[in-house]
């Protein structure tokens, strides 16, 4: 009932409004007072009717503005994501740049001639740890040539074809490197065991070797030149039977992350 009354009132208000705002001659003459009275009566009703219309208009404007804000936010988020991605690349590019600089400095050393190569594959099944490089006999690569990076020894070439070579890394169970302890007279043999760490063998318990010592090649195994970095001692155990200490060494090179290497050809 209340809804019907509202509708009837609205219709009457619209009809009266039509006549109030029409410039026909009938209302132009003699009805000014009636016109003002009707206007006073209908005005509030028109205001009630027009308020929802204005409200809808305001809501629509607000919706349009909200859509615009969301679009701008989405654009800003895309730009932020792009900048974040670029910033994340910078550390990797710096690492790559430093690695290449190290290889260039290594190659420029006058005491050794070297050939740059890239690791293109690996064979790390069980105890045997080897990687494949993209240089071979046509590049002057031969068996038993040392392979290094700016960080230190990788291993030695063991199989060489025309275009590629297989490099046995020092973690391989068949690998053995004669080393010195930097700054000391202690000497031993680095042997691989198929793991991430290697063993330093034949070091007497009375020798001065401790955690943190750095190891370099001695040059006495007829393969590796003297003075190449090998690894760092991470554990020394002398509380065991026998003459020799049990020493664990972490190689400076991580064979799982090898990319560019240098082959010492002379």
Q: What is the tens place of the pLDDT at every residue in 87-138?
A: 665 565 555 555 555 555 555 554 678 899 999 988 766 557 889 999 999 9
Q: Is the pTM of this model over 0.85?
A: no
In this structure, of 36-50, 117-131, 145-159, 177-191, the range with the lowest mean pLDDT score is 36-50
Neighbours of 12 (CB within 10 A): 13
Cβ burial, residue 153 (10 Å; 0-12/13-18/19+): buried
Per the model's pLDDT, the better-predicted residue between 211 and 38 turns out to be: 211
The whole-angstrom distance between residue 51's C-alpha and the CA centroid of its chain comes to 57
Element (H, E) at 264: strand 260-264
**Helix 32-107 × helix 2-20 angle, to 10°:** 100
R_g (Cα) of the chain, nearest Å: 43
Both tokens of residue 1?
């009932």
Element (H, E) at 215: strand 214-217
Residue 228: closest CA among 164, 182, 160, 186: 182
218 contacts: CB under 8 Å, gap ≥ 6: 178, 179, 180, 187, 226
The structure tokens 């000014």 sit at 32
CA distances from 82 to 19, 79, 86, 90, 250 (A): 63, 5, 6, 13, 38
CA distances from 158 to 92, 121, 122 (A): 32, 15, 13
Hey, is 107 helix, strand or coil?
helix
Q: What is the tens place of the pLDDT at every residue in 6-23?
A: 455 555 655 555 554 554
Please tell me the distance from the alpha carbon of residue 15 to that of residue 59, in angstroms, as a whole number.
Answer: 28
| pLDDT computed for residue 162 by the predictor | 94
Long-range contacts of the stretch 242-245 (C-beta < 8 A, 24+): 243/204, 243/205, 244/201, 244/202, 244/203, 244/204, 244/205, 245/203, 245/204, 245/205, 245/207, 245/209
**Residue 28 pLDDT grade (very low, low, confident, very high; cuts 50, 70, 90):** very low
| pLDDT computed for residue 5 by the predictor | 53
Per the model's pLDDT, the better-predicted residue between 108 and 172 turns out to be: 172
In this structure, of 21-30, 62-71, 153-162, 212-221, the range with the lowest mean pLDDT score is 21-30
The whole-angstrom distance between residue 56's C-alpha and the CA centroid of its chain comes to 50
Please tell me the distance from the alpha carbon of residue 120 to that of residue 242, in angstroms, as a whole number.
Answer: 43
The whole-angstrom distance between residue 196's C-alpha and the CA centroid of its chain comes to 23
Both tokens of residue 6?
């509202």
């Amino acid at each position: 009932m209340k809804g019907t009354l509202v509708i009837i009132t609205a219709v009457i208000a619209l009809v009266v409004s039509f006549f109030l705002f029409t410039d026909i001659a009938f209302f132009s003459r003699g009805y000014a007072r009636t016109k003002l009275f009707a206007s006073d009566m209908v005005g509030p009703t028109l205001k009630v009717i027009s308020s929802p219309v204005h409200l809808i208009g305001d809501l629509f404007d607000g919706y349009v503005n909200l859509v615009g804000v969301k679009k701008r936010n989405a654009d800003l988020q895309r730009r932020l994501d792009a900048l974040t991605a670029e910033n994340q690349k910078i550390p990797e590019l710096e690492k790559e740049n430093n690695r290449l600089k190290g290889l260039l400095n290594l190659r420029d050393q006058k005491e050794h001639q070297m050939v740059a190569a890239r690791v293109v594959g690996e064979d790390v099944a069980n105890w045997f740890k080897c990687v494949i490089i993209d240089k071979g006999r046509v590049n002057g690569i031969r068996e038993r040539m040392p392979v290094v990076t700016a960080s230190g020894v990788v291993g030695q070439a063991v199989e060489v074809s025309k275009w590629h070579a297989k490099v046995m890394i020092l973690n391989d169970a068949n690998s053995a490197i004669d080393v010195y302890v930097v700054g000391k007279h202690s000497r031993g043999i680095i042997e691989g065991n198929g793991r991430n760490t290697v063993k330093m063998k034949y070091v007497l318990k009375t020798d001065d070797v401790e955690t943190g010592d750095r190891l370099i090649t001695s040059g006495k195994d007829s393969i590796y030149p003297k003075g190449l970095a090998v690894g760092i001692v991470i554990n020394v155990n002398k509380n065991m039977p026998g003459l020799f200490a049990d020493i664990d060494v972490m190689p400076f090179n991580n064979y799982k992350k090898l990319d560019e290497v240098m082959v010492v050809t002379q």
